[in-house]
Amino acid sequence: MAMTIPPLDWDWWTRAAEYQGELIMPRGALGRLLELGRQLCAAQRTLACRAEPAAVLVLAADHGIAAEGVSAYPQEVTAQMVVNYLQGTAAVNVLARRLGMRVVVADLGMKTPVSAHHPDYVPDLAVARGTANFLHGPAMTPAEVAAALAAGRRIVAERLSDVRVLALGEMGIGNTTSAAALAAALTGQPAEAVTGRGTGLDDAGYRHKLHVVTQAVQRHGLSPATPPLSVLAAVGGLEIAGLVGAAIEAAARQMLVVLDGFISSVAGLLAVRLEPALAGYLVAGHRSREPGHAVVLEALKLRPLLELDMSLGEGSGAVLAVHLIQSAADVMTRMATFDAAGVSRRLDSAPRRERADQIRSD
Amino acid sequence: MAMTIPPLDWDWWTRAAEYQGELIMPRGALGRLLELGRQLCAAQRTLACRAEPAAVLVLAADHGIAAEGVSAYPQEVTAQMVVNYLQGTAAVNVLARRLGMRVVVADLGMKTPVSAHHPDYVPDLAVARGTANFLHGPAMTPAEVAAALAAGRRIVAERLSDVRVLALGEMGIGNTTSAAALAAALTGQPAEAVTGRGTGLDDAGYRHKLHVVTQAVQRHGLSPATPPLSVLAAVGGLEIAGLVGAAIEAAARQMLVVLDGFISSVAGLLAVRLEPALAGYLVAGHRSREPGHAVVLEALKLRPLLELDMSLGEGSGAVLAVHLIQSAADVMTRMATFDAAGVSRRLDSAPRRERADQIRSD
C-alpha cells in the first residue's frame, strides 16, 4: 500500500489554469468543469490529465443499531442489495455502466455472507458479522476499526490500482443512524442538525432515531475533541471505516475521490481528520436530501457538483458526478487553443502566442 | 413537418411514477432522475422510454447590434467558432462526443459564410447576412423571422428526426444583448435584471450594454403585451428565431428539448409563448452565470439540472445535462423491481405484486 498522501501540486494547478486561458472560449466560461480540470492536473502532475478508468467501490456491512428499529427496511436488505449489485441490476450498476465504470463490491461485515463468484466481488475481508449496538457499548473494537481500515486500503491497492477517479458508495441498513452519530460527534452539531429520515422513516420513527443519536453521543462522551478513530469505534460502521481506508489509499495513489451522500461524506470527513492532505483529492459528487449531508460538506468545505434531491446511497450520486470529471478531463486534453484554431482573441487582449508555447513545452 | 405539439400524456406520467415505486430503492430516492424518467415516459407514451439518439443543434448568426461595441470579442469570431465546431475541437464537440451525441451546426445568418463540407453542417438556410442594428430599426423583417423559424423547423425535420433528446445551442457575437432585450420585453423586467457581462465585458462595456438594452426596449415600445413574433422581429436574432422553430418542431415530434444558457432559454420562452404545450417537453440543462438566465428560467417555471457557474453557450451546459436524461432512461428500463430481485420491502408495506403485474402488463 502507498504510504503517504502527497499534497496537491499547486504548480501544476497554476499551469492548468494558464493553459485553460488558451482554450477557445471566454476565460472561465466552463466554470466548475475548469476547477475539476485543475484538480485533476494538480493531483496527477500533468496537463494531460485523465479521468479514466473510473470505478465505484461499494462497501457493505450491517449495524447492531438496526435492532433499535431505526430503519424503514429489514436488515436482510443489506445482503439482498449486494446480490443485486453483483447481478448488475441496482441503480449504481445502471448508472456506472453508462460511464464505463467498474462496480467493485466488498463485504466488510454483513450479518449474512453472500456467497457469490464475481470478478468484482470481495467476499473475504469481512471483519465481523456486523457491528455491536452502540447504545449498549462501542460499535467496534479498536482492532475491528483497524482491520476495516486496512481492508478498505487493501481493496484499493489490490483491485483498483489502475483507477484515476474513485467513487465511494455503501450499503448497510441502519447506517444513516451511525453516520448521524459520527457527524454529530465530529462537527459538534446537535442530533437534530444531522439526523434525517434515511430510507423513509415516519414521524414516530424519526423521533426515535433522533433519541438514539442523542443518547449515543452522550453515552460515549463524543465531541469534536474525541480522536477520530475513537469516534469511529464508538458509533461507526465497518463499511464506513472501510471507506475511510479506501479514501486514504486512493488519495495516496493520486486518485480523485468522489464522495456520494451522507454516509460516504462522513467517511470523507473522518479521512481528512486523519490525513489532512486528503482534502485536496476529494470531490463532493452531490448533495443528498439527508439533512446531515450539508453539515458534513460544510465541515469539509466542499460544494457539491449535483443537487438532484437524491438520497439513495450505494454510490449513485457520486457515479453521476463522475461524468462531469470525465468531461473536465476532455476539456483539458481535447479542446483547441486560440492559436491552434485561429480564433480571434478579445478585442482588448495582447497576443499570447509566446506564453502559450511556453506552457505547452513543459 | 409535424403540425401540432401533443400535450404531455399524464396517464403515462402516472404509470411511470407507479412503476418507479417498484424499482429496488426507497421510494423517490433518485430524486430528479425520476422526474426526468416520468417526463420521458409522458412524452414518448411508454414505460420503455429512450434518451438516445441525442443530439445538439448549434445555430449561428450575426447581430447588427454588435456594431455598438456590446461584446468583448470581434464579430468574425462567430464564423471562426463555426469552423471549430466543424473541426470537432470546441467545447460542445468535446462534451457531446463523450455522450455519443451528434453536433449539427447551421448558418442561420452569419455575416461571413463558412464554406465547408461536413455531413452535419447546414450552410444553405441562412436567412440574411446578420440582423440589422436594432437601435436604428427592427432587427429583422417579419418575413425574415418567418424564414428563420421555418429553417429551424426544417433542420429538425430533415436532419434530426430520429432524435429523442435535442439540446439547443447557439453562437453569435452580440447575442446576449439581443437576448437581454428579448427577456426584458417578454418578462417586463428592467434591463438591469437581465443584462450581464456576456463573454466578459468590463465595467464601462457593461454600462454601455445596459444603456443599449434599455434604449432598444423603449424605442420599440416592447412589453409583455407585445406579440412574441413582434418582439423577436424588433430585437431578436436569426439564430434565436431558428431555435424557436427547432424547439417547436422537436416537441411536435415528442422529443425532450434541453435548453442551454440565457440565449437558448429565451428562445424556449418565446417558443412556449407561441405554443404553450411545448412547456412539457422542456428541460433546463443548467443555470448559467449570466444573470438574465435565472429570470427566464423563473418565467418558464423550470429548475435547472446543473449549476456549474458556466456561461459559454454553444450548447455546452445542455449537452452536459443530457447525461442525466440518459441516466434517467436507464433507471426506467434497466433496474430490477423488488419482486423480480427478491428484495424485501419496507417493514410497513403490504405486498404489491398484483399492482406491479398490472403495470407491467400494460
CB B57 within 8 A of CB B158: no
Average pLDDT over residues A173-202: 95
User: What's the CATH code of the domain at B19?
Assistant: 1.10.1610
Q: What is the pLDDT of residues B13-68, one digit of tens each?
A: 999 999 999 999 999 999 999 999 999 999 999 999 999 999 999 999 999 999 99
Residues A66 and A131 in one domain: yes
Query: Which residues of B fall within a CB distance of 8 Å from A307?
Result: 307
Residue B356 pLDDT: 38
Distance CA A81, CA A78 (A): 5
- The answer to whether the Cβ–Cβ distance between B80 and A336 falls below 8 Å is no
The DSSP bridge pattern shows strands A282-284 and B54-61 to be: unpaired
Residues A264 and A342 in one domain: no
**Is residue A164, in this structure, part of any structural domain at all?**
yes
Residue A356 pLDDT: 38
- The answer to whether the Cβ–Cβ distance between B95 and A32 falls below 8 Å is no
Residue of chain A minimizing CA distance to B342? A80
Q: Which residues contact A226 (CB under 8 A, 6 or more apart)?
A: A185, A234
pLDDT exceeds 80 at position A114: yes
Q: Place B358 in a pLDDT band, splitting at 50, 70 and 90.
A: very low
Residues A102 and A216 in one domain: yes
Q: Which helix (H) or strand (E) is B272 found in, with range?
A: helix B262-274
Query: Which residues of B fall within a CB distance of 8 Å from A29?
Result: 91, 199, 310-312
**Is residue B5, in this structure, part of any structural domain at all?**
no
Residue B349 pLDDT: 76
pLDDT exceeds 50 at position B310: yes
Residues B95 and B42 in one domain: no
Q: Which amino acid is at B293?
A: H
Query: Which residues of B fall within a CB distance of 8 Å from A21?
Result: none
Range of the domain at A27: 10-50+334-361
pLDDT exceeds 60 at position A355: no
Closest Cα of chain B to A324: distance in Å?
8
Residue B362 pLDDT: 36
Residues B275 and B220 in one domain: yes
- Interface test with chain B among A39, A68, A73, A286, by most B beta carbons within 10 Å: A73
Residue of chain A minimizing CA distance to B199? A26
Q: How far is CA B322 from CA A63, A301, B305, in A?
A: 38, 28, 10
Average pLDDT over residues B249-270: 98
Distance CA B238, CA A268 (A): 50
Cβ-Cβ pairs closer than 8 A, A with B, add up to 188
ipTM of this complex: 0.95
Residue B350 pLDDT: 58
Residues B162 and B273 in one domain: yes
pLDDT exceeds 70 at position B359: no
All three cell numbers of B358, joined, read 398490472
Average pLDDT over residues B116-122: 96
Compare CB distances from A74 to B330, B336, B347 and report the shortest one's residue: B347
Closest Cα of chain A to B357: distance in Å?
19
Q: What is the pLDDT of residues B141-194, one digit of tens each?
A: 999 999 999 999 999 999 999 999 999 999 999 999 999 999 999 999 999 999
Average pLDDT over residues A324-337: 98
Is residue A93 classed exposed, middle or buried when 0-12, 13-18 and 19+ CB atoms within 10 A define those classes?
Answer: buried
Query: Which residues of B fall within a CB distance of 8 Å from A336?
Result: 84, 87, 89-90
User: What's the CATH code of the domain at A283?
Assistant: 3.40.50.10210
Closest Cα of chain B to A275: distance in Å?
28
Q: Which amino acid is at B73?
A: Y
CB A149 within 8 A of CB A241: yes
The alpha carbons of chain A give a radius of gyration, in whole angstroms, of 21
Q: Which of B158, B170, B314, B354 is catalytic?
A: B314
Distance CA A153, CA A243 (A): 8
Share of chain A above pLDDT 70, in %: 96
Q: What is the pLDDT of residues B278-301, one digit of tens each?
A: 999 999 999 999 999 999 999 999
- The answer to whether the Cβ–Cβ distance between A98 and B323 falls below 8 Å is yes
Share of chain A above pLDDT 90, in %: 91
- The answer to whether the Cβ–Cβ distance between B199 and A308 falls below 8 Å is no
Query: Which residues of B fall within a CB distance of 8 Å from A312?
Result: 25-26, 29-30
Q: What are phi and psi of B109, to 5 degrees?
A: 155, 60
- The answer to whether the Cβ–Cβ distance between B24 and A98 falls below 8 Å is no
Q: What is the pTM of this model?
A: 0.95
- The answer to whether the Cβ–Cβ distance between B311 and A29 falls below 8 Å is yes
Compare CB distances from B90 to A24, A89, A312 and report the shortest one's residue: A24
Nearest one of B173, B242, B260 to B209, comparing CA atoms: B173
Is residue A119 classed exposed, middle or buried when 0-12, 13-18 and 19+ CB atoms within 10 A define those classes?
Answer: exposed
Query: 3-state secondary structure string, chain A?
Result: CCCCCCCCCHHHHHHHHHHHCCECCCCCCCHHHHHHHHHHHHHHCCCCCCCCCEEEEEEEECCHHHHHCCCCCCCCHHHHHHHHHHHCCCHHHHHHHHCCCEEEEEEEECCCCCCCCCCCEECCCCCCCCCCCCCCCCCCCHHHHHHHHHHHHHHHHHHCCCCCEEEEEEECCCHHHHHHHHHHHHHCCCHHHHCCCCCCCCHHHHHHHHHHHHHHHHHCCCCCCCCHHHHHHHHCCHHHHHHHHHHHHHHHCCCEEEECCHHHHHHHHHHHHHCHHHHHHEEECECCCCHHHHHHHHHHCCCCCECCCCCCCCCHHHHHHHHHHHHHHHHHHHCCEHHHHCCCCCCCCCCCHHHHHHHHCC
- The answer to whether the Cβ–Cβ distance between B310 and A32 falls below 8 Å is yes
**Is residue A79, in this structure, part of any structural domain at all?**
yes
Q: Which helix (H) or strand (E) is B169 found in, with range?
A: strand B165-171
Query: Which residues of A fall within a CB distance of 8 Å from B201?
Result: none
**Is residue B269, in this structure, part of any structural domain at all?**
yes
- The answer to whether the Cβ–Cβ distance between A73 and B30 falls below 8 Å is no
Average pLDDT over residues B251-274: 98
Residues A232 and A261 in one domain: yes
Average pLDDT over residues A301-307: 98
Distance CA B60, CA B52 (A): 25
**Is residue B121, in this structure, part of any structural domain at all?**
yes
Structural domains counted in chain B = 2
Q: Which amino acid is at A87?
A: Q
Q: Which amino acid is at A114?
A: V
Q: What is the pLDDT of residues A23-48, one digit of tens each?
A: 999 999 999 999 999 999 999 999 99
Residues B61 and B181 in one domain: yes
Residues B283 and B297 in one domain: yes
**Is residue A235, in this structure, part of any structural domain at all?**
yes
Residues A24 and A81 in one domain: no
Q: What are phi and psi of B58, to 5 degrees?
A: -110, 115
**Is residue B235, in this structure, part of any structural domain at all?**
yes
Place of cell 442523542: A214
Average pLDDT over residues A118-139: 98
Share of chain B above pLDDT 90, in %: 91
- Interface test with chain B among A95, A171, A324, A339, by most B beta carbons within 10 Å: A95
- The answer to whether the Cβ–Cβ distance between A95 and B320 falls below 8 Å is no
Is A314 in the active site? yes
Residue A3 pLDDT: 72
**Is residue A3, in this structure, part of any structural domain at all?**
no
Residues B76 and B109 in one domain: yes
